[in-house]
Amino acid sequence: MEFIYFLDIIGTFAFAVSGALVASDKKFDLFGVVIIAFVTAVGGGMLRDLLIDAHPINWIGDLNYMYTIFLAVIFTFLFKSKIAHLSKTMFLFDTVGLSVFTLLGLEKGLSFNLNPIIALIMGMISAVFGGVLRDVLTNKIPLIFEKEIYASACLIGGISYLLLTYFNMTENVIFVFSASIIVIIRVIAVKFKLQLPKIKDDLFNKN
């Protein structure tokens, strides 16, 4: 579990950096940058905990999340001009964070005896709603509503996790395998610019 916790912290750092970068590009002051980094990194998990009435809330129960966010903001201010050259690395961290947050949220939902479908939704909320809050607060269309296979990858990975629990496999193996599915789907989707279909015309529109 320590390895998974390490991945969780890495994902938190990557999400916080992505939030700090967006806020910085929008010319927010330091306080604004910290707030956007915060909601990006822990907003999804906080919303999940509120929905399932889990206490303490994720970041309140573990101050390492706060330390990680502050470190990410400092890192962004010191190395912003260099981070652009690390876009592939940041994408990898972000994707790992996405996969870990999905499965940790799913596991927490199951631990609260939620229906597996509801737990799956909690996992997706944990992973993507921090980014949604970031985009809404910075006046952008959220990524999951506009392009790329993002939330769908979380759902597929979560479904894989639920299916694998019926087999006699260790929890860590199931976790790593399911997380890998999310990572692979995200990498393939970005590399080949895959998107979900959009509703443009219906059967009765003849224009």
- 8 Å CB contact between 112 and 200: no
Decide: residue 15, CB within 10 A, 0-12 exposed, 13-18 middle, 19+ buried: buried
* Structural domain contains residue 170: yes
Q: Would you say the C-alpha torsion 171, 174, 177, 180 has a positive or negative sign?
A: negative
What residues make up the domain containing 44? Answer: 2-191
* Structural domain contains residue 207: no
Average pLDDT, 10 consecutive residues per value, the chain (207 residues): 83 91 92 97 96 94 96 92 76 86 95 96 96 93 77 94 90 92 93 80 63
* Structural domain contains residue 89: yes
pLDDT at residue 207 in the model: 56
* Structural domain contains residue 203: no
* Structural domain contains residue 202: no
